Amino acid sequence: MIFATTGRAEVLGKVIRRLTDQTRLPDGVLVVGTCPADVAGVEGAYPHLQILLTAKGLCHQRNAGLAALGDKGDVVVFFDDDFVPAHDFLEQVEALMTADTGIVGLTGQLVRDGAQTGSLGFEEAVHQLDVQQERPPAGEARTAWLYGCNMAIRLSANPQLRFDEALPLYGWQEDVDFSSRLAQHGRLYRTAALTGIHLGVRGGRTSGLRLGYSQIANVIYLRRKGTIRFLHGWRILTCNVLANVAGSLTPSPPVDRRGRLKGNLLAMRDLTSGRIDPRRVLGL
């Protein structure tokens, strides 16, 4: 299991400690941060835990985790540092992957997603999962991409597969790109057997300006690369721009809609001039 983390040590520690209640314990937990503050208090949160420090960037950090893992496992699970899983998440991953070797990737159906509805608290999520025992409606379907906050991949399908580090910092749509390349080797499923709550914690993410640029530049890059479908890419791009326009009229912190809109406009300017590149966010 791999966590790539930046600036969320408190919630990360809670998430990792919760892993001890999984009905199928992880064989090991690898945390990839960028500085000691990212992993403060995480040491000892799980018996088989390893910590790495590397350069900042979601794709780079996940790749560092994969490199450190090597050939030690067949299936690796990626959780965001603010994803709270149901207690049977890993048990269900193992059952599904064992039953059908043609499955190369799994992602869960969420009870709630704070990234879409507004940030949620850890204790609130635990209450919903453990006390109220909320689950999404049963169901399973083939999917074209895995949601990066919770995804399980079969490493043996393509041991050399890595995240595209041309998508820097927050990585925006890196999960779609990775999934598209993984799907060339087998089937991907989104299933209610795997579930949890994505808290959508705001801290640790990239600035509004940079994210806004990535919302345009990354989609254009992946369209040219051929790893994001036209309609999916167009829907993501237009929905985000419209949301940023509307949000700029009535700002509601902590979402920096005006910063994101400014980033959108900078990316559009670079698109018309032929200079658009996801890595330009590093200079903003």
Q: Over the stretch 191-228, which tens digit does the pLDDT of each residue have?
A: 999 999 999 987 666 789 999 999 999 999 999 999 99
pLDDT value of position 206: 73
Its pTM surpasses 0.85: yes
> pLDDT tens-digit profile of 107-117?
999 999 998 88
Residue 44 — very low, low, confident or very high, per pLDDT cuts 50/70/90? confident
- What is the model's pLDDT at position 207? 85
pLDDT at 37: 96
pLDDT tens for 121-167 read 999 999 999 999 999 999 999 999 999 999 999 999 999 999 999 99
Instruction: Give the burial class of 120: count Cβ atoms within 10 A of its Cβ; 0-12 exposed, 13-18 middle, 19 or more buried.
Output: buried
Return the higher-pLDDT residue of 193 and 232: 193
284 has pLDDT over 80: yes
pLDDT exceeds 80 at position 32: yes
Cα separation, 97 vs 111, whole angstroms = 22
pLDDT at 126: 97
pLDDT of residue 10: 95
> d(Cα 146, Cα 105) in Å, to the nearest integer?
7
The predicted pLDDT at position 72 comes to 80
pLDDT tens for 237-255 read 999 999 999 999 987 777 8
Interval 15-34 mean pLDDT: 96
